[in-house]
Amino acid sequence: MDIMTLSIILVIVLFGLLLSGLWVGFSLMAVALVAMELTRPGLAGAVFATKVWGSLNIWDLTALPMFIWMGEILFRSRLSSDLFRGLAPFTRRLPGGLLHANILGCALFAAVSGSSAATTATVGRMSLPELKSRGYDANIAIGTLAGAGTFGFLIPPSIILIVYGAATEQSIARLFLAGVLPGLMLAAMFAGYVMIWSLMNRDRMPDAGPAPSWAERWDAARALGPTVALIVAVIGSIYAGIASPTEAAVIGVVGALLISGLSGGLDVASAKASITGAAVTTCMIAFILAGASFLTVAMGYTGIPRQLAAWIGEQGYSQFALLAALLVFFIVLGFFLDGISIVVLTTSVILPMVMAAGIDPIWFGVYLVLVVEMSQITPPVGFNLFVLQSITGRGIFHIARMALPFFLILVLATAILSIFPEIALWLPNTMLNR
């Protein structure tokens, strides 16, 4: 069977299974089984047994459930409300006012949760009612939250960067470092857009109110203290070389438990709920990783990645042309798949051609996460849209329209990162090559 026919069959099987509602992990396993039976019949069972175990028996992956659990603890504690209360006095006098609390709140919470959906849900539940009561335009408030909620994918500790690192055997510490400056750049771009929008729509902005007193600022700084301390403990321990990402994840869980316990925001019921939520999310990701590892080997037997990479090389595409084509490809995939599924599904096919084009795999991990962030705010399966729908009661496509400017900013940020790759590579090359 020729490669083109085999590729078409596998694509039809994959999307047929996904449209049928079968879980993504099992869909990937089924496609891999079909590929193996069509190319190397009789080997599927042995390959499945060894690869599934091997894909999950990776030490770096132990950071995954710990970071997820840390986010679940914080999601159920008082830290989220303290976060908004602490940011409000420092942002309300800026052009855009408390809309910046959405952006900064998402950036800070992303730095202690690693999850896009958790970031959106946590910040949204505390900020949207507050913004509404103060007279802020609902559309821009929802849009800023939808866009800034995607920070959970990029700003370390990022769950999706851990998944990418495990799937591609790249250093998770380097990936975390590579995500810092692009994450800050994206936050600055979002804040700049909010400022411009507010200056052009003064009639839709409430009065900024009096300047905060020094007492208010001091109280706000105290409210932000636990969040900042946890970020420093988790991320700082990795960057200083004191702890590995796995050890830092344990530090984060212990810190989250201490903060939540001391603040009185975590009882027995919420602690049990946090463990359950972390277990469910971890198992979902584990099934996807297991299916993706089996599919990776099966694709190797088919020869599709090798021939595709060779074909790309023969076309003589420049790096920019290849990245532009991949951008469109990933945006289309984002209409149908969630972020983690996109990463594990495409890595085995895309990475060989990317490395053949001379693109750094660490940089490509950040590029991939930026592009995957777009899938969080594109209908019909954007997770952030579903989260905001549950909070606001508005339709998915209405929320997507509000998030459109931030989707375009993500596209612009991806272009800037492609033109200036050192934005992602400077920090890991400086700190880990000393």
**pLDDT given for residue 69 in this prediction:** 84
CB 29 within 8 A of CB 326: no
Q: Look-up: residue for tokens 């975390």?
A: 176
Let me know the angle formed at the C-alpha of 87 by 86 and 92, rounded to the nearest 5 degrees: 125
Banded pLDDT at 173 (limits 50, 70, 90):
confident
Q: What integer pLDDT is reported at residue 408 of this predicted model?
A: 94
Does the pLDDT at position 363 exceed 90?
A: yes
Stretch 163-169: mean pLDDT, rounded? Answer: 83
- Using the predicted structure, report yes or no on whether residue 434 has a pLDDT greater than 60: no
Q: At what angle do helices 159-168 and 268-302 cross, to 10 degrees?
A: 30
Q: Which helix (H) or strand (E) segment is 43 a member of?
A: none
For residues 347 and 349, give the distance between their C-alpha atoms in angstroms, rounded to a whole number: 5
- Residue pair 182/370 in contact (Cβ under 8 Å)? The answer is yes
CA nearest to 153, candidates 113, 187, 184: 113
Is residue 128 predicted with pLDDT exceeding 90? no
Q: What is the pLDDT of residue 425?
A: 93
End-to-end distance of the chain based on CA atoms, in angstroms? 51
pLDDT in tens, 228-272: 888 788 878 877 778 877 788 888 888 888 888 777 667 788 888
Give the count of domains, the chain: 1
**Who's near 33: CB < 8 A, 6+ residues apart?**
44, 48, 294, 298
Model confidence band, residue 190 (pLDDT cutoffs 50, 70, 90) = very high
pLDDT on residue 314: 67
Quick check: helix, strand or coil at residue 244? coil
C-alpha 193/C-alpha 189 separation (Å) is: 6
Structural domain boundaries enclosing 356: 3-432
Q: Rounded CA gap, 182 and 367, in Å?
A: 9
Residue 201's SS3 state is: coil
Q: Could you tell me which residue, 243 or 366, shows the higher pLDDT? A: 366
Average pLDDT, rounded, for the chain: 81
Q: How many other CB atoms are found less than 10 A from the CB of residue 314?
A: 8
